[in-house]
Structure 1
């Protein structure tokens, strides 16, 4: 019996040690972005890099302060057309502005007030959108459907 307990304890320590080594040390912290050395751009690539940087800044500001993030929509849904990563539980909302009426029998404006799906009824019923929030959501989803 003592050998079994000792074997279990050793296996436990080795298992946790290997897990820490693989996920903590080798794979690194997933919240940290890799550091890349900056070089001085040439004139030919300067314009392209500036445009790329501006696009990244725009996406970052949209991602951090948008209504879909603040109301928790991105916990279940992504909006690939806007570059917004989210959960995989719900469908991508890139075409929701045009597709909701066909799927749920009412325009998206009405669906956001009173959803016809059981899941969304529970979600929005527990955390309803104000008129201003609904307008912001509609604007973002319209923008996504146009891309």
Structure 2
């Protein structure tokens, strides 16, 4: 019975293959690779690092201190970080940025200003994509203020 089955299948397969190539259906199925859709590089970077961005929490928008730290929300920092000094709630994946001024030298062996200029780790991929030099200068001012260390603009530039 199997001998007879094989003889009848081959002509049908050849006809299917020929019709498929004529209609380009077979070519698309066999020859076209399936690529995943392109992802935003920031999302891909966060995913590759194993971080899980958090949903943005409600913040006290009536507080002037919160409005002063608005850049952290605008640049997406609160996806992973909170900034408690400015009453900004965010994700818990990254550390509270209120302590970054004193934390950066301990963690990376360089000042916060040096870290913002040449970030390392996950931030090395994200920070240059999400911020400009002016943004990073403003972030430095805000985070130094949070640590009680006002940074003079003229001295740093």
Relative to the length of structure 1, the TM-score reads 0.53
Q: C-alpha displacement at 1:120, in angstroms?
A: 1.1
Following TM superposition, by how much is the alpha carbon of 1:107 offset from its aligned partner in structure 2, in angstroms? 1.3
- In structure 2, the partner of 1:123 is 126
- After superposition, the C-alpha distances for 1:20-44 in whole angstroms (9 at most, x for unaligned) are xxxxxxxxxxx99xxxxxxxxxxxx
Find the aligned partners of 2:135 and 2:128 in 1 and give their Cα distance: 14
Pairing of 1:49-88 with structure 2 (within 5 A): 56-62=62-68, 66-88=70-92
- 2: distance between equivalents of 1:69 and 1:136? 13
| Residue deviations 1:63-119 (CA, integer Å, cap 9, x gap) | 5xx2111111111100112211111110111111122012111111121122122x1
Residue of structure 1 equivalent to 2:101: 97
SS at match of 1:95: helix
Q: Which has the larger radius of gyration?
A: 2
Secondary structure, counterpart of 1:94 in structure 2: helix
User: 1:79–1:144: 8 Å Cα contact kept in structure 2?
Assistant: no
Q: Please identify runs of 4+ aligned residues in structure 1 that moved more than 4 A.
A: none
Aligned counterparts of 1:135 and 1:120: Cα–Cα separation in 2? 16
Structure 2 residue aligned with 1:137: 139
Task: Indicate how the Cα distance of structure 1 residues 132 and 125 shifts in structure 2: closer, same or farther if over 3 A, else same.
Answer: closer
Given that 2:97 and 2:143 are in contact with CA atoms closer than 8 Å, whether structure 1 keeps it comes out as yes
Give me the CA root mean square deviation: 2.6
Normalising by structure 2, we get a TM-score of: 0.50
**When the two structures are aligned, how many residues end up with a matched partner?**
91
Distance in 1 (alpha carbons) for counterparts of 2:66 and 2:143: 17
CA distance in structure 2 between the partners assigned to 1:145 and 1:86 by the alignment: 19
Q: How does 1:17-28 map to 2 (within 5 A)?
A: none
Structure 2 regions of 5+ residues with no counterpart? Answer: 1-56, 150-157
